[in-house]
């Protein structure tokens, strides 16, 4: 008798928990959702966050997504904030490849990207491009490389902090041309772009969404894209590989995560809302004109993001260790 009672109480409790999670998901979102973008306002990450965030707000219908720029330390400050947030689906992290490079760069991270988050899905992919201030004395990529090599102690390279995509590109470029140059860290490539346009820094490697309009306006010089294939949004730029950097291939991907422990029905709601946003022509077209491609529906899923993250950690870890770079903390 006692055994039966115990089992039926456990079953009732389990049913109660399930139904409260389902009820919770039905109410979700019950307030605005904060999407943490761990780089400064005005950069590529911020631009992508605002476009995708608007698409998700439209899909939610009842609640807005607000973007919170919590910058610093290559995206790790914002990431730690989300890892520690209430796991109720109302705080999300939108971050890119630095989710996979930071574990090798920051020895004392306050979170484990593979354990302290619930993956929602991959979001977009886009190339970066090598760009310089208007006065940079090179008319093509090979002259650009030759000038950097010949003036390595004079030129300065700006990036968004150790672990950022612009830092990773600089690390790969420095290895590819076997030349070390001065690097200047900012809290995002929004501020970098302001100083590049102003001529205070010499060159960077920034994501297409932050480069397209500035190159077409002639505010900066573009030399090559980092992807294996040319970018429709930057038609005049060759690829770095076509221009002599054999095997150079860097595409920046973004993923969306919630804190570990976010109930599955809530994660499911976030997945369907992300997928609806990525299928929205207004979102797709706006991102495409800026050089970013929304991922296919089957990749905007927790399993696809989790598998991609683990593959990227395995890919970049040895590259970073070989480069002998860590962020002293």
Helices (H), 247-301: 264-279, 281-289
> Smallest distance from the beta carbon of 261 to ligand MLT, in angstroms?
27
With contacts defined by CB under 6 A, name the span among 36-44, 99-107, 214-222, 310-318 that binds ligand MLT: 36-44
Q: CA triplet 33, 38, 40: central angle to 5 degrees?
A: 110
Closest distance of CB 122 from ligand MLT, Å:
16
194, 162 in Cβ contact below 8 A? no
The residues, any chain, with a CB within 8 Å of residue 225's CB and separated by 6 or more, are 127, 128, 129, 208, 231, 234, 237, 238, 239, 240
Strand segments, DSSP code E, in the chain are 33-37, 65-69, 91-96, 117-133, 156-159, 182-185, 203-207, 220-225, 251-259, 293-294
Residue nearest to ligand MLT (CB): 43
Does the footprint of ligand MLT cover residue 190 (CB under 6 A)? yes
Instruction: By CB under 6 A, tell whether 127 contacts ligand MLT.
Output: no
Residues 94-113 that bind ligand MLT (CB under 6 A): 96, 98
Contact (Cβ atoms closer than 8 angstroms) between residue 92 and residue 118: no
Between 54 and 166, CB nearer to ligand MLT: 166
Q: Does 69 engage in binding with ligand MLT (CB under 6 A)? A: no
Position 73 contacts ligand MLT (CB under 6 A) = no
Rg (CA), the chain: 22
Instruction: Say whether residue 209 binds ligand MLT (CB under 6 A).
Output: no
Q: Does 40 bind ligand MLT (CB under 6 A)?
A: yes
Q: For ligand MLT, which stretch binds (CB under 6 A), given 182-190, 240-248, 287-295, 308-316?
A: 182-190
Q: What's the rounded Cα separation, in Å, for the pair 327 and 106?
A: 5
Binding part of the chain for ligand MLT, among 3-11, 158-166, 274-282, 318-326 by CB under 6 A, reads 158-166
Length of the chain (residues): 329
Number of residues in contact with ligand MLT, rule: CB under 6 A?
A: 14
Examine residue 166 and tell whether it contacts ligand MLT (CB under 6 A): yes
Asked whether position 57 contacts ligand MLT by CB under 6 A, the answer is no
Which of 189, 239, 293, 294 touches ligand MLT by CB under 6 A? Answer: 189
Q: How far is the CB of 178 from ligand MLT (least distance, A)?
A: 23
Spatial separation of the C-alpha atoms in residues 66 and 72, rounded to whole Å: 19
- 237, 223 contact by CB (below 8 A): yes
Q: Which is nearer to ligand MLT, 174 or 189 (CB)?
A: 189
At 136, phi and psi to the nearest 5? -60, 125
Q: Which of 56, 120, 129, 160 binds ligand MLT (CB under 6 A)?
A: 160
38 part of the interface to ligand MLT, by CB under 6 A: no
Pick from 53, 89, 170, 188: which binds ligand MLT (CB under 6 A)? 188
Q: Distance between CA 38 and CA 67 in Å, rounded? A: 10
Of residues 54 and 164, the one with the C-beta less far from ligand MLT? 164
**Rounded CA separation 99/312 (Å):** 9
Which one, 249 or 268, has the nearer CB to ligand MLT? 249
Give the residues lining the site for ligand MLT (CB under 6 A). Answer: 39-40, 43-45, 96, 98, 160, 164-166, 188-190
């Amino acid at each position: 008798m006692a055994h039966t009672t115990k089992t039926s109480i456990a079953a009732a409790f389990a049913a109660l928990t399930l139904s409260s999670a389902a009820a919770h998901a039905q109410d979700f979102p019950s307030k605005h959702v904060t999407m943490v973008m761990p780089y400064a306002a005005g950069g590529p990450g911020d631009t992508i966050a605002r476009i995708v965030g608007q698409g998700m707000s439209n899909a939610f219908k009842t609640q807005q997504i607000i973007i919170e720029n919590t910058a610093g330390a290559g995206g790790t400050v914002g990431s730690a904030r989300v890892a520690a947030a209430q796991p109720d689906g109302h705080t999300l992290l939108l971050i890119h490849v630095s989710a996979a490079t930071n574990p090798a760069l920051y020895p004392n991270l306050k979170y484990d990207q593979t354990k302290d988050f619930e993956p929602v899905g991959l979001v977009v992919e886009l190339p970066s491009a090598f760009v310089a201030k208007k006065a940079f004395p090179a008319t093509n990529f090979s002259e650009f490389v030759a000038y950097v090599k010949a003036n390595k102690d004079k030129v300065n390279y700006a990036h968004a902090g150790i672990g950022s995509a612009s830092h990773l590109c600089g690390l790969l470029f420095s290895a590819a041309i076997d030349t070390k140059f001065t690097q200047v860290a900012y809290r995002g490539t929004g501020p970098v772009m302001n100083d590049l346009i102003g001529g205070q820094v010499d060159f960077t490697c920034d994501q297409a969404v932050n480069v397209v309009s500035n190159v077409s306006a002639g505010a900066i010089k573009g030399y090559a894209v980092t992807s294996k294939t040319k970018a429709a949004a930057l038609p005049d730029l060759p690829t770095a590989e076509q221009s002599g950097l054999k095997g150079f291939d860097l595409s920046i991907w973004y993923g969306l995560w919630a804190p570990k422990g976010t109930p599955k029905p809530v994660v499911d709601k976030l997945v369907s809302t992300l997928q609806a946003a990525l299928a929205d022509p207004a979102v797709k077209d706006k991102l495409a004109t800026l050089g970013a491609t929304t991922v296919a529906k089957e990749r905007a899923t927790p399993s696809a993001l989790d598998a991609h993250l683990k593959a990227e950690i395995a890919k970049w870890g040895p590259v970073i260790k070989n480069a002998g770079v860590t962020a002293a903390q």
